[in-house]
Amino acid sequence: MTTQNIASDFVALLKVGKDHEAAARYNADDIVSYEAMDGPMAEMRGKEALRQKGEWWVTSHEVHSAAVEGPYVNGDSFCVRFTYDFTRKETGERLKMDEIGVYQVKGGKIASERFFYAT
Amino acid sequence: MTTQNIASDFVALLKVGKDHEAAARYNADDIVSYEAMDGPMAEMRGKEALRQKGEWWVTSHEVHSAAVEGPYVNGDSFCVRFTYDFTRKETGERLKMDEIGVYQVKGGKIASERFFYAT
């Protein structure tokens, strides 16, 4: 599969809310994830660690609306834009998030993901 | 200046159409630009080459509307989303473009830019 094929299928799954299936199908076992924050989630390694992070996110946030735009492709990489309206269950805070993910593909799998936030 | 400062100022200039001023102020002399296309513009090097490319774009396209969103920041990098409605003067073709630029900052200047297109 080309980067374009992978990007299109990955994003098609995200657009119908199948985030776990997208990650299960395309994340490399040794994927590295870079968040734009300090702390334990700044750099996470491994498909299983990211699966757990995804589960944590889903159970600790209530999503009111979400939009996924893309993919935007260049060479071995692609971008996806996410906009969310959600409530953090722990605090009751309602927040909007505007985020771009940049994914790098190697050998048919996503080798890294890096998230950028509107500031 | 931090990446956040540079990203904010750079994007503020783009939002008011001052693309040339943004590039003049922040592009490194040896900036590398990666386009998602084959041909002579796939990889361009140098601030002056990019200035000429920018001039070519402006003179050969008529822009009907443009929107700039961002910046989206992570570490030494930031993203900008561009949406354009324009006409290619040579062919008269009217096109929409939805594009994300990823910029890497080194030593207070933009060392590279990479453009991704919605597909």
Look up the CATH number of the domain holding residue A74: 3.10.450.50
User: Residue A99: what pLDDT?
Assistant: 96
A103 pLDDT more than 90: yes
The tokens 């540079």 sit on which residue? B6
A49-99 residue pLDDT tens: 999 999 999 999 999 999 999 999 999 999 999 999 999 999 999 999 999
- The alpha carbon of residue A3 and the mean position of all alpha carbons in its chain are separated, in whole angstroms, by 16
B1 pLDDT more than 90: no
Across the interface, do A102 and B99 touch by the CB < 8 Å criterion? no
User: Residue A1: what pLDDT?
Assistant: 87
- What predicted TM-score, i.e. pTM, was given to this entire model? 0.89
User: Residue B70: what pLDDT?
Assistant: 97
CB B81 within 8 A of CB B66: no
User: Residue A39: what pLDDT?
Assistant: 79
Interface of B with A in 87-106 (CB under 8 A): 98-100, 102
A2-33 residue pLDDT tens: 999 999 999 999 999 999 999 999 999 999 99
Across the interface, do B116 and A34 touch by the CB < 8 Å criterion? no
Domain that holds residue A97: 3-117
SS3 content of chain A, % helix, strand, coil (to 5): 30, 50, 20
- DSSP letter at A75? T
B51-104 residue pLDDT tens: 999 999 999 999 999 999 999 999 999 999 999 999 999 999 999 999 999 999
Residue A57: partners with Cβ closer than 8 Å, 6 or more residues away: none
Residue B28's closest CA among B105, B80, B102? B105
Across the interface, do B79 and A35 touch by the CB < 8 Å criterion? no
CB B53 within 8 A of CB B39: no
Across the interface, do B117 and A7 touch by the CB < 8 Å criterion? no
Q: Of B6, B32, B116, which to mutate for an interface test with A (greatest number of A Cβ within 10 Å)?
A: B116
CA-to-CA distance for B73 and B67, rounded, in angstroms?
18
Question: Considering its fold, how many domains does chain A have in total?
Answer: 1
Q: Which of B69, B81, B102 sits opposite A102 (nearest CB)?
A: B102
User: Residue A79: what pLDDT?
Assistant: 97
| H helices present in B46-104, as ranges | 47-60
Split at pLDDT 50, 70, 90, the class of B29 is very high
